[in-house]
């Protein structure tokens, strides 16, 4: 719920857009923008440790 509140505040080209939140008695469904490139975590798992300049490029976004 905290992450949802934070995402609702941001509209930036480098932050995934939150479209909708649907809450039932037992579940919360979050509808977010599709990102073709995948997650940073998966990239790091596949490639291993990032070089400093590559990591800086990600975090400057």
pLDDT tens per residue, range 2-45: 888 888 888 777 788 889 999 999 999 999 888 787 788 888 89
- pTM, entire model: 0.53
**Number of domains the chain contains:** 1
pLDDT recorded at residue 59: 80
Number of residues in the chain: 61
Give the CA count within 13 Å in the CB-facing half-sphere of 20. 4
Domain range for 33 is 2-60
Tell me phi and psi for residue 10, to 5 degrees. -105, 135
């Amino acid at each position: 719920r905290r992450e949802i509140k934070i995402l609702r505040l941001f509209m930036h080209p480098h932050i995934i857009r939150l479209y909708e939140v649907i809450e039932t008695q037992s579940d919360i469904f979050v509808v977010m923008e599709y990102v073709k490139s995948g997650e940073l975590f998966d990239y790091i798992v596949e490639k291993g440790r990032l070089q400093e300049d590559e990591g800086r490029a990600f975090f400057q976004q």
